[in-house]
Copies of this chain bind each other. A is one copy, B any other.
Amino acid sequence: MAARERLLVIGGDAAGMSAASQARRRRNADDLGILVVERGHHASYSACGIPYYVGGVVEELDKLIARTPAEFRERDIDLRLRTEAVEIDVDGGRVRVRDHEGGGERWESYDQLMVATGAVPMRPRLPGADARGVHGVQILDDGIGIRGVLEKEKPRRAVVVGGGYIGLEMAEAMVMRGLEVSIVDAADQPMRTLDPDMGAVIADAIRGIGVDLHLGERVEGFETSPDGHVTAVRTAGRTLPADLVVLGLGVRPGADLARAAEIETGPTGGIVTDRRMRTRTDRVWAAGDCVETRHLVSGGPVAIALGTHANKQGRVAGINLGGGYATFPGVVGTAVSKICRIEVARTGLNEREAAAAGFETLSAAVESTTRAGYYPGATMMKTKLIAERRSGRLLGAQIVGEENAAKRVDGLAIALWNRMTVEQMTGLDLGYAPPFSPAWDPVLIAARKAAEAVERDMSG
Within the complex, which residue of B46, B312, B330 is in contact with A372, where a contact is CB–CB below 8 Å? Answer: B46
Which residue from B296, B347, B439 sits with its C-beta under 8 Å from A48? B439
Mark interface residues in A58-80 (1 if CB within 8 Å of B CB, else 0).
10000110000000000000000
Q: Which residue of B lies closest to A53 (CB)?
A: B374
* Residues of A144-203 whose CB lies within 8 A of B: 165
Give the distance in Å from the alpha carbon of A273 to the alpha carbon of B439 in the complex. 22
A308/B430 in contact, CB under 8 A: yes
A307 close to B (CB within 8 Å) = yes
Q: Does A57 contact B (CB under 8 A)?
A: yes
Among residues of B, the one whose C-beta sits closest to the C-beta of A333 is B429
A329 is an interface residue with CB less than 8 A from chain B: yes
Question: Is A331 a contact of B429 with CB atoms below 8 Å?
Answer: yes
Binary contact readout A402-436 vs B (1 if CB under 8 angstroms, 0 otherwise): 00101111110111011010001011111111111
| CB contact between A307 and one of B330, B410, B439 (< 8 Å): that residue | B439
* Interchain CB contact under 8 A, A407 and B436: yes
Is the Cβ of B430 less than 8 Å from the Cβ of A413?
Answer: yes
Copies in the complex: 2
Contact B375 A440 (CB under 8 A): no
Q: Please tell me if A49 contacts chain B, counting CB pairs below 8 Å.
A: yes
The interface stretch among A96-104, A132-140, A334-342 is: A334-342
B residues within 8 A CB of A343?
436
Q: Which of B335, B414, B432, B439 contacts A414 (CB 8 A)?
A: B414
A332 adjacent to chain B (CB < 8 Å): yes
Is A415 touching B414 in the complex (CB atoms < 8 A)? Answer: yes
Task: Point out the residues of chain B lying under 8 angstroms from A345, CB to CB.
Answer: 431
Residues of chain A in range 311-364 having any CB-CB distance to chain B below 8 Å = 311-312, 326-338, 343, 345, 347
> A277 contacts the other chain (Cβ, under 8 Å)?
no
Given contacts A48-B434, A57-B375, A404-B404, contact A428 B440 (CB under 8 A): no
In the assembled complex, 7 residue pairs joining A and B whose CB atoms fall closer than 8 Å, in A order, are: A49-B372, A308-B439, A329-B427, A343-B436, A345-B431, A414-B420, A418-B420
Not counting A404-B404, A413-B428, a sample of 6 additional A-B residue pairs whose C-beta atoms are within 8 angstroms of each other reads A312-B426, A326-B426, A329-B427, A410-B430, A411-B411, A414-B414
